[in-house]
Amino acid sequence: MRSVLFTLALMIAPLSLAQGETPSSPLQTGDAFPSLQLPDAFGNAYQLPYPGVRHVLFSADMDANDLMKQSFGELEKGDFTAAGLVYVADISGMPRLVARLFAIPSLRDYPFRVLLAREAEQLAMLPREEGAVSVISLSQNGEVEKLDFVRDDKNLKELIVE
């Protein structure tokens, strides 16, 4: 049942862009990472980027989220943050009821913080590819140093040991 609801939610997501909304230009290497205030799955607000963040991991679809869970689901609490990682999930295309009853409660079980975007405009500038986790590597002063699209858990797990 959950997968059916997730699939329906992901099918609805592109409709908002089809209705005339135009996303911002995607981030590129050398750009300053935008200041974002996002809640986590527990409703606590966080300001990005914050000190110590080296990589922003972003998922815009269910396949990328599943890859995140597969790659980091066995971590001890605190290891993800200690490695300078932060995870941002775009749930804007998901009906609020589905998000509240199914998606957000399941994200609370992850052993790392999940920041959520409920409005598509909040993350329109973040680069994305279907089925991939966007890895946005930041310099100490918050500029984008590197952009990658990762589709396998081996490459994601390497971020922990860097």
Q: Residue 25: what pLDDT?
A: 80
Q: By three-state DSSP, how is residue 150 classified?
A: strand
**Cα angle for residues 68, 76, 71 (degrees, 5° grid):** 20
- Per-residue pLDDT averaged across 71-97, rounded? 93
Task: Dump pLDDT digits (tens) for 112-153.
Answer: 999 999 999 999 999 999 999 999 999 999 999 999 999 999
Q: Which of 136, 113, 137 is nearest to 45 (CA)?
A: 113
What is the band of 77 on the pLDDT scale with cuts at 50, 70, 90?
Answer: confident
Judged on CB neighbours under 10 Å (0-12, 13-18, 19+), 55 is buried
CATH top class, domain 2-22+29-161: alpha beta
Q: Report the percent of the chain where pLDDT is more than 70.
A: 85
Determine how β-strand 85-90 pairs with β-strand 55-59. Answer: parallel
Torsional class of 2: left (φ above 0), alpha (ψ -120 to 50), beta (otherwise): alpha
Please, where are the H alpha helices in the chain?
2-18, 62-72, 79-82, 96-98, 104-107, 153-161
53 contacts: CB under 8 Å, gap ≥ 6: 84, 85, 86, 138
Judge whether residue 99 has pLDDT over 50: yes
- Per-residue pLDDT averaged across 79-87, rounded? 95
Average pLDDT in the chain = 86
Q: Which of 107, 150, 144 is nearest to 126 (CA)?
A: 144
Q: Residue 115: what pLDDT?
A: 97
Q: Residue 1: what pLDDT?
A: 52
pTM attached to this predicted model: 0.83
Residues 52 and 80: beta-carbon distance below 8 Å: no
Higher pLDDT, 150 or 22: 150
What is the band of 6 on the pLDDT scale with cuts at 50, 70, 90?
Answer: very low
Q: Which of 21-30, 57-66, 75-84, 109-118 has the lowest mean pLDDT?
A: 21-30
Higher pLDDT, 21 or 44: 44
Judge whether residue 161 has pLDDT over 90: no
